[in-house]
Amino acid sequence: MKQIKIDPITRLEGHGKIDIFLNDDGEVENTYFQIPELRGFEQFCVGRPVEELPRITTRICGVCPEAHHMASAKACDAVFHVDPPPTAKKLRQLLYNVFFAGDHTTHFYALGGPDFIVGPSAPASERNILGVVKKVGLEVGGKVIEMRKRTQAVLKVLGGKQTHQVTSLPGGVSKGITQEEAKEIEQHCLWFVEFGKFTIQAFNDIVLKNQEYVDLILSDAFAHKTYYMGLVDANNRVNFYDGMVRVVDPEGKEFVKYSPNEYLDNISEHVESWTYLKFPFLKKVGWKGLVDGKDSGVYRATPLSRLNASDGMPTPFAQAEYEKMYSTLGGKPVHATLATHWARVIELLSAAEMALDLVRDPEITGTNIRTIPTEIPTEGVGIVEAPRGTLTHHYTTDAKGMVTKVNLIVGTTNNYAPISMSINKAARGLIKKGVEVTEGTLNMIEMAFRAYDPCFGCATHTLPGQMPLIVRIHDTNGEILDEIKRN
Amino acid sequence: MAKPKLALYWAASCGGCEIAVLDIHEKILDVAAAFDIVFWPCAMDFKYQDVRAMEDKSIDLCLFNGSIRNSEAAEIAHMLRAKSKVVVAFGSCALEGGIPGLANLTTKEDILRVVYKDTPSTVTQNGGVYPQTHSKMKEGSIEIPELWETVKSLDQVIDVEYYVPGCPPQPEQIWAVIEHVISGRPLPPKGSILGATDKTCCDECPRDRKEKKIKQFYRPFEIQTDPNECLLDQGMVCMGPATRSGCGALCTKANMPCRGCYGPPPHIVDQGAKMVSALASVIDSTEPEEIERILDQIADPMGTFYRFSLAHSILRRVEKV
Ligand code: SF4
Ligand code: SF4
Ligand SMILES: [Fe+2]
């Protein structure tokens, strides 16, 4: 038996590691994707005042603190049985949609996009944001930096800090916005919508007009038939901040639609001894291991999953693209993991359109932004869509609102099983007896999980570099037979 | 002349410090122009081996974020120490343990039990499965690092030249530090705090502080505060008096009390102890019993006064009795 280690692929919480075992025929016997770190938020949040959790759980992730801030604030609303005033809800949603637009931009241009824009087999030194700029022009690079700059500026106004926001608390938000601030944010949002349309156009021109890429997206090596999950509004349209969780089966039929406080009837987590991360699955289907299909409780929670699980987008331009995607890719649901990139740019546009609608709502500058809780706090669940999947915070408190129990099911974690399966399938498809394992092979394996934009994906393809990978092929005695380094 | 070499690394952190570096926006291109970036796992090719092969002290500046929680992070910290002339503990977690350091209020055993057994969505088979450092699978063996009992700050593991506080450090402050290094101006004495000032958060806060004597404390969700008056004066526990300035009092400007992420002010070792004395001085009483009664209204003093600094405080960790 030979062992190939891909170590480290860098962080979800810490670094990820992939081990690939080859049998004596040189075929892939099995793969293991390990997460080697645990910080224990579920335990050390116990004993804290519950209203502090929106300011503590942000530190689960500095890439998507907004998602934890919102899920936490919503869980706090539920704990105190309060409903924030409409202005407060709209301010939270405005912040959240601006964040979504910015976060999806980073992934599309810097992390996942380079595979398509520069090409999956281009030299690694070009498969990064600088390569993207070279391919599509310096102006685009400037636009991406400006997009980040503008979103961060809005987040600072609405959240108090651009990273690790502080303004959401049980019953509402601590700070409203003035007419002038709203006018300024409106200008930013107009820019975001244009940027969203520009990004859709770029995706059309670069990816969809290239048959090779379309074939790659639709190839079996990158497909899994699973359940799909996403938050939907009353009309079953995608909503990032609020609504019911809808799950569709691998044929696209609604399997269940549940409200946040019913999550325990629907989601369970499986523990394996070889990794610190748990594997969530659909409780009513059951854990059958790392396999896809209707009998396996494995589900996906990604931009593509949200589109698969919904009946449409809440905004007009994004809706048009939604329809186009499904007609191009042969109807719903789409199982092709790589189509997640397309879904992501559709969501980017939708988030920008939503933010513009919200900031133009006359209520957004209202001054009634808090409902002071009066009931005795008990227990509550808050769910939002994080860019990387459905995010659930569940808190229980004593009568004083001191936390006694915390349960968290985090965005990327939902996808731990499917990411592991995608790595396995790509490795099996690519590593064959007598075929040399090259850097290109590694990139294709990487692409299988990069589409999920896993939080350790921040590690890949940003400014001047590329995914760090070292692969070692060991024989059964641990002797290194081969080593491939990404340079 | 060869460009100075720069390394950035994250240990047990959330990634927010890295985002804060990216938040200097177009100036990131100046950083790329001024430095030869030799190691930055978040942004570029990860070359463990290449760093290991470098000569000692060949990296000019190493910005290290995140606390130390396992053997793997400690090993990299030691390696980067040997290879770097200047190591900077960057951000609250590296500086003083940060929010992950709150784990020192509990034990590794309790963390594992809650995460892998007690949480209501977790399915426990055969009495529960815990992650193991070495796993023998049918195809071969695979490993994950061992979790430490105690979260440590960077300077509890290696020698550190400078500290940049903040959770995360504010981008303007990061740029000020980097610009100073690029300019070639002499560096301050070892042990200095960079990217902050020598005052307290209160000094930067625009609120009107009258040092009223308070009889009751409130929690943030309980009252709507006056936007111009000091939060502490209004009975809201605000860490401003026990926190170094540098952020521009961001939280209080957003009507939320400071939680102390910029660490203790100059000459103060223990932020929590400083906060207790600051509070004692605003309480309207001279009766020890009454003072105690009023202080008792504060929810979770430990997790509030030491929100970011527990691992580096005189307490370091709270032993279970
Ligand atoms: S205690 Fe807080 S609110 Fe009051 S002046 Fe200091 S920082 Fe500002
Ligand atoms: S006000 Fe306090 S908690 Fe907020 S950013 Fe500044 S130092 Fe950190
Ligand atoms: Fe994240």
Domain boundary assignment for chain B = 5-99+151-183, 106-148, 201-312
Say whether A402 sits in a helix, a strand or coil. Answer: strand
The confidence score (pLDDT) of residue A155 equals: 97
**Spans of chain B below 50 pLDDT:** 45, 321
CA separation for the pair B310, B101 (Å, rounded): 6
Compute the Cα dihedral for A112, A116, A120, A126 and give only its sign: negative
Choose the CATH number for B5-99+151-183 among 3.40.50.700, 3.30.565.10, 3.40.190.10, 3.30.450.20: 3.40.50.700
- Residue A184 C-alpha, separation from nearest chain B C-alpha, in angstroms: 18
Ligand 3 centroid to residue A104 C-alpha, Å: 12
CA distances from B21 to A67, A382, B318 (A): 20, 31, 33
> What is this model's ipTM?
0.95
Closest by CA to B145, choosing from A214, A35, A150, is: A35
Radius of gyration (C-alpha) of chain B in whole angstroms: 22
Residue A80 CB neighbour total at 10 angstroms: 25
Global pTM value: 0.94
Which among A8, A13, A51 is the nearest to B220, CB-wise?
A: A51
Token pair 């996403």 is found at A230
Is residue A270 within 8 angstroms of chain B, CB to CB? yes
What local confidence, expressed as pLDDT, does residue A126 receive? 66
**Which residues, in sequence order, are CB contacts of B138 under 8 Å at separation 6+?**
none
CA A168 vs. chain centroid, Å, equals 22
Alpha-carbon distance of A236 to A253, in angstroms, equals 13
- 3-state DSSP call for residue A193? helix
CA distance A142 to B26: 8
Task: Specify the DSSP element, H or E, that contains A358.
Answer: helix A340-360
Q: Which residues contact A316 (CB under 8 A, 6 or more apart)?
A: A353
- How far is the C-alpha of A302 from the C-alpha of A337, rounded, in Å? 9
Chain A contacts of B220, Cβ < 8 Å? 51, 169, 174
Tokens at residue B119, please? 């949480």
Q: What atom of ligand 2 comes closest to residue B250's alpha carbon?
A: 1
Percent helix, percent strand, percent coil in chain B, to nearest 5: 35, 15, 50
Q: Which of B227, B44, B181 is nearest to A463 (CA)?
A: B44
First to last CA, chain B: 59
From CA B319, how far away is CA B104, in angstroms rounded?
A: 8
Q: Find the ligand nearest to A456 CA.
A: 3
B245/chain A closest Cα distance in angstroms: 15
- Does residue B251 belong to the interface with chain A, where contact is any CB pair within 8 Å? yes
In B46-83, at which residue ranges do the beta strands (DSSP E only) sit? 59-65, 68-70
What's the pLDDT at A12? 36
Residue B57: per-residue pLDDT: 96
Query: Residue A471 is which amino acid?
Result: V
How do beta strands A279-282 and A267-270 pair?
antiparallel
Helices assigned H by DSSP within A361-455 = 411-414, 416-430, 439-450
Distance of CA A224 to the CA centre of its chain: 18
The answer to whether B100 and B15 are in contact (CB under 8 A) is no
Digitized pLDDT (tens) for each residue of chain A, 487 residues in all: 677 666 554 433 345 677 888 887 778 889 888 877 788 899 999 999 999 999 999 998 888 899 999 999 999 999 999 999 999 999 999 999 999 999 999 888 877 777 777 776 666 666 666 677 777 777 777 888 899 999 999 999 999 999 999 999 999 999 999 999 999 999 999 999 999 999 999 889 888 898 888 888 888 888 999 999 999 999 999 999 999 999 999 999 999 999 999 999 999 999 999 988 899 999 999 999 999 999 999 999 999 999 999 999 999 999 999 999 999 999 999 999 889 999 999 999 999 999 999 999 999 999 999 999 999 999 999 999 999 899 999 999 999 999 999 999 987 789 999 999 998 998 888 888 777 777 677 777 777 777 777 654 333 333 333 333 444 444 544 454 555 444 3
Gap from CA of A58 to ligand 2 centroid (Å): 14
Beta bridge partners of A22: A2, A28
Q: What is the largest CA-CA distance in chain A?
A: 70
DSSP H or E stretch at residue A472: strand A470-474
How far is B7 from chain A, CA to nearest CA, in Å?
13
- A463 with B142: Cβ contact below 8 A: no
A465 vs B contacts (CB less than 8 Å): 40, 43-45
Q: Between β-strands B5-10 and B36-39, what pairing exists: parallel, antiparallel or unpaired?
A: parallel
- The strand ranges marked E within A124-211 are 168-169, 172-173
**Mutate which of B14, B37, B149, B258 to disrupt the A interface (most A C-beta within 10 Å)?**
B14
Q: Please tell me the number of the ligand nearest to residue A167's CA.
A: 2
Rounded-to-integer distance, Cα A32 and Cα A427, Å: 11
At B304, give phi and psi (nearest 5°). -100, -50
Contacts of residue A20, Cβ cutoff 8 Å, sequence gap at least 6 = A3, A4, A5, A6, A28, A30, A31, A427, A431
Whole-angstrom distance, CA of residue A382 vs CA of residue A261: 8
Residue in B12, B122, B128 closest to A269 by CB: B122
∠ CA A448-A450-A451, rounded to 5°: 75
CB A394 within 8 A of CB A73: no
Give the closest residue to B80 by CA, choosing from B45, B41, B107.
B41
Q: Output the DSSP codes for A259-316.
A: -GGGHHHHEEEE--TT-SS-EEEETTT---SS--STTS--EE-SHHHHHHHSSB-SSH
Q: Give Cβ neighbours of residue A162 (< 8 Å, ≥ 6 apart).
A: A152, A153, A155, A156, B23, B171
Q: Determine the Cα–Cα distance for residues A447 and A337; give it in Å rounded to an integer.
A: 9
| B50 three-class SS | helix
Q: Where does chain B show beta strands of DSSP type E?
A: 5-10, 36-39, 59-65, 68-70, 84-90, 134-136, 141-143, 147-152, 162-164
Sorted by sequence, the CB contacts under 8 Å of residue A81 that are 6+ apart come out as: A373, A375, A377, A378
What's the CA gap between B1 and B15, in Å, rounded? 33
Q: B5 - beta bridge partners?
A: B36
Q: What phi and psi, each to the nearest 5 degrees, are found at residue A269?
A: -125, 135
Distance between CA atoms of residues B74 and B94, nearest Å: 12
Q: Across the beta sheet with A2-6, what order do the strands follow? A: A28-34, A17-22, A2-6, A470-474, A480-485
Give the pocket of ligand 1 (CB within 6 Å). Answer: B 201-202, 205, 207, 209, 230-232, 238, 240-241, 249, 252, 258
The DSSP call for residue B297 is: T
Chain B contact for A262, CB < 8 A? no
DSSP summary character for residue A336 = B
